């Protein structure tokens, strides 16, 4: 723990009023393990990878052109490319807060210098609008993404001010926020941005800098939305950018998933800052309805490619699942805010599901290629990805180094760099402080409570193994309680305390203090493979079953099948329980030999075909979904037909 | 039969070399019935409806602006709006060929006059490019649609020259075709159009006017395709416009469905005109692979909204089925060409399936509103369609009067106006002429053979009833054989001839001549409702079954269920056979009461839920799919879960 203790405990993305506070980045150190390795790869490879691509494509040079006054009608990158630079900065801010890294510091300074030079005198900062040869400022609120970019700038500044204090980037962000408040305030332009993001950026920067005007501006943007003010985009409905129904009236998420979720996160920030329970309840209601009917087994959201959006209730096709990586990131942002606001375990459960099966799925093991979409069924090997080129965003089956629309790599980077901040939270409101561990990883926690610091050593090979051993290294003299999450799937979990093993049901498991140095608690979660069945209303998965193991969704990948057996030519023998193997499982399959029964006709038959279960038996390994496509182009499926 | 007998038998869209010729429009008169009513509505309502919308939106005035020299950078309509005018003209040409219609004649003359005035001196004709303030001609081959529009102009001219001879529109088309040949000939621009259509227009006009140069130009376009010459469109792959693989090398259709199918039709025209068997076989292969794996029960093609395109093999989601109406029209164009070239019954089977379940589904009963997309499962009532406005193209659930991209209404219009030309064909190559009836409808046929005219009276209430009675009114003295299609689903069909009832298997049923006046043949097709099961590889329909009746796909619509029972809350009791009722059927359903088993979690459960079959029994009517959504906003499904 190397940095300014005055900011200990604020080194985190969300600092909301209320009894619960998430731990700061500096309150937990990862010791290898699943997330430690991911975080290390992110620090060593991904950050640089993103900078290099943005330099190569001219997205960074866009700032220089504005600074030099040499803009024109055309510029490299989409209108939202500035935001990638800001998301990368946010990642760098979190990363450098955790450990000294002179190279990253140098990178920070160099980038901030170029950004500073591009800011207009009145605080406006955007490389696509408002300068020579470009369209005027705010002339295209529907698609221009100017406020969206500003929102990401503010989030980067939040990361910086909460880990290092006010530096040049924070001053840039302050000027930009002031400009937005002047321009779009109560008496200003009554507009909103086609892509929500400014709301949460303003609200959090307002909290970080103690500027209520920023939070008020966020509130104005939230209230203005849903009233049809945005000019339509061809072929898309106003629901695409949530301009169809006011936020506090909507009962579900709809339209573009990332937009819907950033908006929900911003609404929660406004609601908690303003004590607006109606708005808070509206988002809770949207969460429940959308999670229960519009969310994939992986936690992924977004069933449609066309608008990168939510589908109707129960519309969850595995093959055309969009499940954009960024929607996973955004879903975690929303659930984390709700977890702090409400303390309910279901939010932490969904964060875990999404972290392991969406966020961890996107980056290749080397941190230099990414999935943008995360389908649950790949029918054709993803041969179209070009390893050294910019790729279309939704190619399935092979991770790509960079995308034409490249929002996902930097979103993964900032999430991995700040993983610790989702691991635990402290509730100081009751008689004794309660430290809740929401996510498990090996490492040490130094959690500040108002009775003193609780220091815990956590040893675990989770999720490969189910044992989580927590040893108290240091505890305040006053009582502090510990609360552990027992995930919803962990029927049969046990807690070994001073008094022996106790069964604990899914939910929060309370361990009463006071604690003394040397106390040990062991939580054992059952991580044997298990079968998971789709709700019968999920038409696209009827007659299938998935295999899960702990928080991991498993999948069958073609490279794990014998030659001549196709991913779509097997069915799962559910009479034979899957057996754990490494981090995956071994399952019994029946190989089917479907005949082409519809010669010269569409594939619909005069009698039911039951080739399943007729073929030979084979055993095959199913691997964690997050690891698929690491062994070359392949086909894959999560949901296996039942033999 | 009111018109010039020198053109009898050429009044048809496709006149290909080879032994088989389709009958001309003037060789069959419909006598009410399914298609007679549709054709009448088309003539009385749809043609005028289309003209009115194109006038209202300024798509017709675009021609006037070019004529006046008052174009600018902006103009109403998409870049392909000219093509709608040409498709409407084609419909008017076919329609006025069948019956005198002074109002339609006047419309024809008025439209042609406006079009003529917009043609440049060198034959170029397009209202979006090449004039004052517009982008230069052929500056955007990927998206500009200039040659696509020209192709539709040529098809309209083909309809006219084959029904009335060379008039002003034909001369316009000739000049446009000459221009294209000069511009894009062997020594000209080596380009192709992003949207195929010019190929079949050129080939057919070349045949109609005996201009081999046009056919050669079509061949050049076909050969140039698939070599990556088109500039990419953001986020879409070259497969979107079939520029990924040369036509003669491809083994399946892929990308944008209408593009793929127009291209296939053009390739067949070139293949048959040039005797290019390799090219013909390539398209046959593509047809087989794509029909057997990428085609819906309705005959609809196109599984994806995003690119209006084919999906992977077996990717046939009922809810997100795109099944664009125009792809149905285009599929019929391809199958008809293959039927003439190869004589195989499967092509006629698919034409029938697509005519009843895609083409007839699109127009509302009054002919003034249309489906663009034809999904097989509507989860939410289609409340978003605006009855008096231009609608986005893919709204489901309510037919819309007009679309932003409005290709479907005029495509339906030209297909219905020429329905007769798909009903029968004559093979004069053998020892005796064979007249094949491919589609059944009440009416009279006067079919010219080289031994004389065969006149048949056809009495049938098909498809509601299975009996087709054919009475010979007049026959040549020389032997003429009759061949009748027994559809693939018609197990148990019988043929009553002079010698009594004979069973006849699906395929072609031959009835030997010679015939004499008064001879009667009765074909009886079994049209009792039947169950149809998805191939087990169609993941999205696993565990479901459909009900069909003759050529009609049936569906369950919410308005036919009791209050409180939802379309997605029932399962079909397959032990109880569906019973015929009117033009639909009555089925036994079990009402299920699914519990929300996944509180606060994605809808995937720890144990298999089998609520099906547990609820009460109800009987419900399933109606022909083509009639759904005629009774207000509703939900609907074709595939019903099996109880």
State how far the Cα of B154 lies from the Cα of B174, in Å rounded to an integer: 8
Residue range of the domain that includes A487: 423-524
**Residue (of A569, A212, A139) closest to B314 by Cα position:** A569
Between chain A and chain B, the number of residue pairs with CB atoms below 8 A apart is 221
Tell me which residue of A350, A368, A411 sits closest to A86, measured CA to CA. Answer: A411
Q: Are strands A434-437 and A481-486 parallel, antiparallel or unpaired?
A: parallel
The pLDDT of B276-303, averaged and rounded, is 98
Tell me what the mean pLDDT of segment B249-256 comes to: 98
Q: Is B236 on the interface with A (CB under 8 A)?
A: yes
Q: Assess if residue A1 is contained within a domain.
A: no
Q: How many CB atoms lie within 10 A of CB B18?
A: 14
- Enumerate the residues of chain A whose CB falls inside 8 A of the CB of residue B313: 379-380
* CB contact set of A308 (below 8 Å; sequence gap of 6+): A256, A257, A258, A302, A322, A324, A327
Q: How far is A131 from chain B (nearest CA, A)?
A: 23
Contacts of residue A556, defined as CB under 8 A and 6 or more positions apart, other chains included, come to A567, A570, A587, A589, A620, A622, A636, A637, A638, A640
**Nearest-CA neighbor of A287 among A242, A219, A350, A237?**
A350
Cα separations in angstroms, B384 against A237, A328, B254, B303, B634: 9, 29, 30, 22, 12
Place of tokens 């990428």: B294
Q: Is B322 helix (H, G, I), strand (E, B) or coil?
A: coil
- Calculate how close chain A gets to B164, using CA atoms only, in Å: 37
Beta strands A20-22 and B520-524, pairing class: unpaired
Q: What pLDDT was estimated at residue B585?
A: 97
Residue A358 CB contacts under 8 Å (≥ 6 apart), including other chains: A298, A299, A300, A323, A325, A327, A328, A329, A331, A374
The answer on B558 and B436 residing in a single domain is no
Q: List the CATH number of the domain containing B476.
A: 2.60.40.1180
B141 with B226, same domain: the answer is yes
- Which of A369, A390, A421 is the endpoint of a domain? A421
Last residue of a domain, which of B499, B524, B549?
Answer: B524
Which of A532-536, B34-38, B289-293, B391-395 is the least confident region?
A: B391-395
Residue A18 domain-assigned (yes or no): no
pLDDT value at residue B506: 97
User: Are A119 and A175 within 8 A, CB to CB?
Assistant: yes
Lowest mean pLDDT of A627-636, B327-336, B492-501, B516-525, name the range: B492-501
Cα distances (angstroms) measured from residue B47 to each of A424, B50, B91, B173, B522: 67, 5, 8, 21, 36
pLDDT digits (tens, 9 = 90+) for B547-580: 999 999 999 999 999 999 999 999 999 999 999 9
Euclidean distance between CA atoms B178 and A130, whole angstroms: 47
Q: Which ranges constitute the DSSP H helices of B42-187?
A: 47-56, 61-68, 81-98, 102-118, 146-161, 168-184
Of B312, B535, B537, the CB nearest to A380: B312
- pLDDT band at residue A5 under the 50/70/90 scheme: very low
On whether both A145 and A290 belong to a single domain, the answer is: yes
Residue A501, pLDDT > 60, answer yes
- Model confidence at B429, pLDDT cuts 50, 70, 90, reads confident
Query: CA nearest A540: which of B562, B311, B86, B40?
Result: B311
Query: pLDDT tens digit string along B13-24?
Result: 999 999 999 999
Question: Are residues B351 and B220 part of one domain?
Answer: yes
Chain A contact for B568 (CB, 8 A cutoff): yes
The answer to whether residue A14 sits within a structural domain is no
Rounded to an integer, what distance in angstroms lies between the CA atom of residue B611 and that of residue A537?
10
Mean of the pLDDT values across residues B120-129?
98
Query: Is the CB of A393 inside 8 Å of chain B's CB atoms?
Result: yes
Instruction: Let me know if residue B616 belongs to a domain.
Output: yes
Kindly list the residues from chain B whose CB atom is less than 8 angstroms away from the CB atom of residue A404.
234-235
pLDDT given for residue A468 in this prediction: 98
Please work out, in degrees rounded to the nearest 5, the angle formed at the alpha carbon of residue A602 by the alpha carbons of A598 and A605. Answer: 50
Using a CB–CB cutoff of 8 Å, tell me whether B599 touches chain A. yes
In terms of domains, do B452 and B568 share one?
A: no
E strand or H helix that includes residue A50: helix A47-56
Within a domain: A412 = yes
Indicate whether B86 and B140 sit together in one domain. yes
Residue B20 pLDDT: 95
Going by pLDDT thresholds of 50, 70 and 90, the confidence category of residue B386 is: confident
**Predicted confidence band of residue A7 (pLDDT cuts 50, 70, 90):** very low
User: Is A181 a domain residue?
Assistant: yes
How far from the centroid of its chain's Cα atoms is residue B332's Cα? Answer: 5
CA separation for the pair A241, B119 (Å, rounded) = 42
Residues B302 and B357 in one domain: yes
Residue B389 lies in a domain: yes
Q: Taking residues B473-493, what's their average pLDDT?
A: 95
A385 to chain B, closest Cα gap in Å: 11
Would the pLDDT of B395 be above 70? Answer: no
Work out the pLDDT band at B4, boundaries 50, 70, 90. Answer: very low
Residues A321, A318: Cα–Cα separation, whole Å: 5
CB contacts, 8 Å: B350 with chain A: 600-601
Which region, left, alpha or beta, applies to residue A507 given φ > 0 means left and ψ of -120 to 50 means alpha? left
Mean pLDDT of A120-132: 98
What is the DSSP pairing of strand A617-624 with strand A552-557? Answer: antiparallel
Quote the CA–CA distance of A602 and B314 in Å, as a whole number. Answer: 10
Side-chain-side CA neighbours of A466 within 13 Å: the count stands at: 21
Domain of B154, CATH number, reads 1.50.10
CB–CB contact A236 B392 (8 Å) = yes
Whether A610 shows a pLDDT value over 60: the answer reads no
Q: Do B237 and A344 touch (CB under 8 A)?
A: no
Average pLDDT value over all residues in chain B: 94
DSSP string, B282-318: HHHHHHHHHHHHSB-TTS-B--BTTTTB--STT---S
Burial of residue A99 (CB within 10 Å: 0-12, 13-18, 19+) is: exposed
Residue A111 lies in a domain: yes
pLDDT of residue A615: 83
Residue A34 has pLDDT above 60, yes or no: yes
Burial of B189-207, coded b for 16+ CB within 10 Å and e otherwise, reads eebbbbbbbbbbbbbbbbb
Interatomic CA distance for residues A105 and A108, integer angstroms: 5
Partners of residue A256 on adjacent β-strands: A309
Enclosing H/E stretch for A333: helix A325-342
pLDDT digits 0-9 by tens, B209-231: 999 999 999 999 999 999 999 99
Residues 273-292 of B with CB under 8 A from A: 288, 291-292
Tally of domains within chain B: 3
Count how many Cα atoms sit within 13 Å of the Cα of residue A401 in the half-sphere of its side chain. Answer: 16
Per-residue pLDDT for B641 more than 60? yes
Contact criterion met (CB < 8 Å) for B320 and A320? yes
The CA distance from B215 to B52, in Å, is: 35
In a shared domain, residues B396 and B444: no
- Mark which of B476, B500, B524 sits at the end of a domain: B524
SS3 category, B519:
coil
Quick count: other Cβ atoms within 10 Å of Cβ A125?
24
Q: What is the pLDDT of residues A191-247, one digit of tens each?
A: 999 999 999 999 999 999 999 999 999 999 999 999 999 998 887 889 999 999 999
Complex ipTM tops 0.90: yes
SS3 content of chain A, % helix, strand, coil (to 5): 35, 20, 45
Q: Are residues A399 and A433 in the same domain?
A: no
Mean pLDDT of B25-41: 96
Per residue, the 3-state secondary structure of B13-51, as one string, reads: CCCCCCCEEECCHHHEEECCHHHHHHHHHHHHHHHHHHH
B534 reaches A (C-beta below 8 A): yes
Using the Cβ of A394 and the Cβ atoms of chain B, whether some distance falls under 8 Å is answered with: yes
Q: How far apart are CA B364 and CA B346, in angstroms?
A: 29
Q: Is the domain of B351 the same as that of B286?
A: yes
Q: Are residues B302 and B280 in the same domain?
A: yes
Alpha carbon dihedral B385, B386, B387, B391, in 10-degree steps, equals -80
List, in order, residues 6 or more apart from B96 with CB less than 8 Å away.
B104, B105, B108, B163, B164
Model confidence pLDDT, tens digit, residues A142-187: 999 999 999 999 999 999 999 999 999 999 999 999 999 999 999 9
In this structure, are residues B561 and B637 in contact, taking their beta carbons and an 8 Å threshold? no
3-state secondary structure of B511: strand
Regarding whether A482 and A538 lie in a shared domain, the answer is no
- CA gap A70, A49 in Å, rounded: 27
The pLDDT tens digits of the residues spanning A321-349 come to 999 999 999 999 999 999 999 999 999 99
Establish if A592 touches chain B: CB-CB under 8 angstroms.
yes
Q: What is the dihedral of CA A178, A182, A183, A189, to 10 degrees?
A: 140
Tell me the C-alpha distance between A424 and A333, whole Å.
14
- Quick check: A481 and A433 in contact, CB under 8 A? yes
From the CA atom positions of chain A, what is the Rg in Å? Answer: 25
Contact call for residues B350 and B299 (beta carbons, < 8 A):
yes
Give CA–CA dist A38/A23, Å, rounded: 20
Amino acid A383: pLDDT: 67
Contacts of A74 (CB under 8 A, 6+ apart): none
Residues B350 and B363: beta-carbon distance below 8 Å? no
- CA dist B78 and B82 (Å) reads 9
Distance CA A505, CA A508 (A): 8
Residue A84: closest CA among A206, A4, A6, A197:
A197
* Helix and strand element counts for chain A (H, E): 14, 25
């Amino acid at each position: 723990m190397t940095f300014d203790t005055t900011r200990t405990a604020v080194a985190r993305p969300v600092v909301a009023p209320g009894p619960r506070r998430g731990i700061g980045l500096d309150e937990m150190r990862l010791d290898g393990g699943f997330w430690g390795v991911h975080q290390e790869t992110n620090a060593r490879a991904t950050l640089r990878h993103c900078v290099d691509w943005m330099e190569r494509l001219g997205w960074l040079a866009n700032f220089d052109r504005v600074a030099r006054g040499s803009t024109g009608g055309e510029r490299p990158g989409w209108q939202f490319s500035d935001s990638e630079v800001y998301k990368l900065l946010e990642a760098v801010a979190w990363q450098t807060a955790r450990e000294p890294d002179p190279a990253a510091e140098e990178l920070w300074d160099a980038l901030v210098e170029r950004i500073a030079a591009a800011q207009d005198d009145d605080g406006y900062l955007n490389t696509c609008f408002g300068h020579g040869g470009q369209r005027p400022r705010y002339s295209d609120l529907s698609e221009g993404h100017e406020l969206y970019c500003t929102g990401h700038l503010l989030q980067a500044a939040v990361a910086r001010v909460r880990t290092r204090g006010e530096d040049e980037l924070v001053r840039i962000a302050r000027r930009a926020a002031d400009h937005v408040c002047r321009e779009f305030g109560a008496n200003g332009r009554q507009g909103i941005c086609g892509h929500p993001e400014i709301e949460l950026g303003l609200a959090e920067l307002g909290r970080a800098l103690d500027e209520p005007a920023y939070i008020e501006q966020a509130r104005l943007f939230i209230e203005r939305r849903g009233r049809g003010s945005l000019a339509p985009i061809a072929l898309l409905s106003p629901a695409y950018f949530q301009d169809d129904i006011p936020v506090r009236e909507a009962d579900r998420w709809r339209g573009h998933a990332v937009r819907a979720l950033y908006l929900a996160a911003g609404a929660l920030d406004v609601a908690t800052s303003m004590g607006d329970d109606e708005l808070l309840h509206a988002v809770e209601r949207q969460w429940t309805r959308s999670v229960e009917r519009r969310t994939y087994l992986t936690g992924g959201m977004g069933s449609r490619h066309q608008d990168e959006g939510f589908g109707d209730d129960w519309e969850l096709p595995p093959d055309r699942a969009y499940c954009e990586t960024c929607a996973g990131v955004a879903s975690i942002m929303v659930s984390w805010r709700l977890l702090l606001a409400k303390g309910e375990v279901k939010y932490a459960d969904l964060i875990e599901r999404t972290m392991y099966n969406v966020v961890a799925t996107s980056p290749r093991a080397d941190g230099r290629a990414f999935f943008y979409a995360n389908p649950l069924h790949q029918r054709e090997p993803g041969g179209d990805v070009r390893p050294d080129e910019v790729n279309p965003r939704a190619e399935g089956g092979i991770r790509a180094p960079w995308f034409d629309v490249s929002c996902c790599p930097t979103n993964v980077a900032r999430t991995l760099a700040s993983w610790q901040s989702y691991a635990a939270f402290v509730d100081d409101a009751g008689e004794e402080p309660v430290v809740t561990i929401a996510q498990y990883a090996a490492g040490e926690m130094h959690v500040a409570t108002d009775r003193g610091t609780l220091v815990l050593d956590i040893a675990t090979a989770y999720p490969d193994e189910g044992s989580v051993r927590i040893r108290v290294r240091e505890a305040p003299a006053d009582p502090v309680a510990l609360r552990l999450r027992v995930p919803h799937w962990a029927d049969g979990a046990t807690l070994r305390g001073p008094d022996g093993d106790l069964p604990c049901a899914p939910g929060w498991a309370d361990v009463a203090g006071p604690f003394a140095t040397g106390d040990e608690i062991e939580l054992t979660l059952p991580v044997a493979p298990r079968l998971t069945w789709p709700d019968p209303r999920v038409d696209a998965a009827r007659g299938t079953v998935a295999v899960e193991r702990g928080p991991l969704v498993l999948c069958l990948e073609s490279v794990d099948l014998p030659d001549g057996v196709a991913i779509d030519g097997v069915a799962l023998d559910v009479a034979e329980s899957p057996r754990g193997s490494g981090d995956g499982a071994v399952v019994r399959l029946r190989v089917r030999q479907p005949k082409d029964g519809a010669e010269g006709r569409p594939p619909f038959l005069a009698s039911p075909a039951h080739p399943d279960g007729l073929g030979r038996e084979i055993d095959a390994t199913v691997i964690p979904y997050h690891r698929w496509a690491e062994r070359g182009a392949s086909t894959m499926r999560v949901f296996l037909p039942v033999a």
